[in-house]
């Protein structure tokens, strides 16, 4: 690293906060169908003209808006991913990132205390964050789920458990790619409305059901050909992760498969970069969560009695990987 890179690293949050403000104010939706001047958009948003003008110019500098004479319009890219009128809208995950900023600004406190520092929220604010988180997970999973589902050979699999499945994105895409597959999305009761709405949107209500429960204290059922656990273990301690994996293994039929997706560290824990940073994100928001190494995930699955444990050859972003193991009884 050189000095310019260091300063860019230090001040990079300026661009991040500019993007977050644009999404929070829904500027890209407003400017998708027609160009508007700053005063026109300020009236629509009940915003200050001076402040809005500065934001619009900064978003243009980031190549997220296009300016022609005195009017602004969304670019093709921002209209696709940042407008609520688009089926590819990614604003939910961006707002989830926005909600994490306050905690990250107190990372030094979390390191000294070894515990979460995120502030307690009002019920209304908590509901907004929950929606951003769940639909943000839908945003992210929608990028990877079709790729993973098409890469897996699931012929002969009939019953799937999507454990802590949130809005059911993976269950949906696995079922879309495998017509004989049915699925259960298992998550907390508060997740049910989001899951059932998403499942209904894809026309899969007859093949995918929702089961409410707690992954640590409740049972999952038995006889599943496939159990999918995506980005759950990093929220839990090693001991609780072992409990979840053991219970998942017990829910498999003989010969059934357990698949675990995580942001996976190498065994030195110094790379890849994203899982290393994500471990800090868990420090900020959970009591004992962390990113796990491939070796640690292997150990969890072997201890649960699974055989043929290995990592699938998949090229996924942000250091993500999928581990697989088979129930051999």
Residues serving a catalytic function are 234
Provide the 3-class DSSP secondary structure of residue 229.
strand
First to last CA, the chain: 52
Q: Distance between CA atoms of 276 and 270, rounded to whole angstroms?
A: 6
The long-range contacts involving 211-215, CB below 8 angstroms and separated by at least 24 positions, are: 211/184, 211/185, 211/186, 212/186, 212/187, 212/188, 213/186, 213/187, 213/188, 214/188, 215/163, 215/164, 215/186, 215/244, 215/247
Which residues contact residue 317 at a Cβ distance below 8 angstroms, ignoring those fewer than 6 apart? 143, 144
Task: Give the helix, strand, coil percentages of the chain, each rounded to 5.
Answer: 50, 20, 30
Q: Distance between CA atoms of 224 and 183, rounded to whole angstroms?
A: 9
CA dihedral 205, 207, 212, 214 (to 10 degrees): -140
Q: Largest Cα–Cα distance in the chain? A: 71
- Alpha-carbon radius of gyration of the chain: 22
């Amino acid at each position: 690293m050189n000095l310019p890179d260091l300063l860019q690293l230090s001040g990079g949050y300026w661009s991040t906060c500019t993007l977050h403000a644009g999404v929070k104010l829904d500027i890209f939706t407003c400017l998708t169908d027609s160009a508007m001047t700053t005063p026109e958009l300020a009236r629509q948003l009940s915003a200050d003209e001076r402040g809005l003008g500065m934001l619009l110019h900064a978003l243009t500098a980031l190549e997220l808006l296009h300016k022609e004479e005195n009017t602004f319009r969304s670019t093709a890219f921002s209209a696709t991913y940042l407008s609520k009128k688009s089926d590819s809208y990614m604003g939910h995950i961006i707002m989830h990132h926005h909600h994490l900023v306050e905690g990250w600004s107190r990372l030094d406190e979390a390191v000294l205390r070894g515990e979460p520092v995120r502030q307690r929220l009002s019920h209304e604010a908590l509901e907004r964050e929950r929606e951003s988180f769940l639909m943000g997970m839908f945003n992210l999973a929608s990028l990877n789920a079709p790729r993973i589902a098409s890469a897996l050979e699931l012929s002969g699999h009939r019953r799937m458990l999507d454990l802590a499945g949130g809005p059911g994105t993976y269950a949906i895409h696995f079922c879309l790619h495998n017509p004989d597959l049915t699925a259960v999305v298992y998550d907390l009761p508060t997740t049910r409305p989001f899951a059932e709405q998403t499942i209904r949107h894809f026309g899969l209500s007859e093949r995918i059901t929702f089961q409410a429960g707690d992954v640590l204290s409740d049972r999952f059922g038995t006889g599943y050909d496939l159990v999918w656990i995506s980005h759950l273990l990093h929220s839990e301690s090693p001991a609780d992760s072992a409990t979840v994996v053991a219970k998942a293994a017990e829910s498999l039929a003989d010969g059934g498969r357990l698949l675990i997706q995580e942001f996976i560290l190498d065994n030195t824990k110094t790379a890849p970069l994203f899982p290393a940073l994500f471990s800090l994100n868990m420090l900020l928001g959970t009591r004992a969560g962390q990113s796990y190494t491939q070796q640690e995930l292997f150990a969890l699955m072997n201890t649960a009695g699974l055989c043929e444990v290995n990592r699938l050859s998949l090229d996924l972003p942000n250091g993500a990987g999928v581990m697989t193991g088979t129930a051999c009884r």
